[in-house]
Structure 1
Amino acid sequence: MPVAVGPYRQSQPSCFNHVNMGFMMGYAVGMAAGMLLGTFSCLRIGLWGWELMGRIRKTMMQSGGIFNIFVAIRMCIQY
């Protein structure tokens, strides 16, 4: 399929660019959701100090790592 060129010789983003953008957006959204949910769940069970920070960091990384895969796949299918 030919790539359309804009009036100032700007080409459209490639499939790799779409997937890369979806990967980064998914990671950012997943990290934000992990921070909110991780903070709430850790405070509920009574963690404080370094335990709280470590558990929140772990939850943020896990949720970001999972969500970015789904958004990247969606961007690949959408393209």
Structure 2
Amino acid sequence: MPVAVGPYGQGQGQPSCFDRVKMGFMMGFAVGMAAGAMFGTFSCLRVGMRGRELMGGVGKTMMQSGGTFGTFMSIGMGIRC
């Protein structure tokens, strides 16, 4: 009878601690990017940015909030290991 291979390789039932921290960062980064898109768009439009300047400002805000929230989520997942 063949052995079923799970998503984390053959015979492993649980992801490693590094995999959990990495997944926490990716989830936090995605949530932070979404929040950064909303808040960044609002704040950039509020100060009167348009066109290329608007895209640059929103992108910067998305990367900053994504990185920050991803870091905190990865720390939280690391504590749970």
Unaligned runs of 5+ residues in structure 1 are 1-8
TM-score of the aligned structures, taking structure 1 as reference length: 0.85
Question: Are 1:65 and 2:67 counterparts?
Answer: yes
- Summarize the alignment of residues 35-74 of structure 1 with structure 2, pairs less than 5 Å apart: 35-74=37-76
Distance 1:28 1:74 in 2: 16
- Number of positions where the alignment pairs a residue of Structure 1 with one of Structure 2: 72
Moved over 6 A (4+): none
Q: Of the candidates 18, 21, 31, which is equivalent to residue 19 of structure 1?
A: 21
> Identity of aligned pairs, percent?
65
Unaligned runs of 5+ residues in structure 2 are 1-10
TM-score of the aligned structures, taking structure 2 as reference length: 0.83
| Higher percent of residues as strand | 2
Task: Give the RMSD, CA atoms, in angstroms.
Answer: 1.3
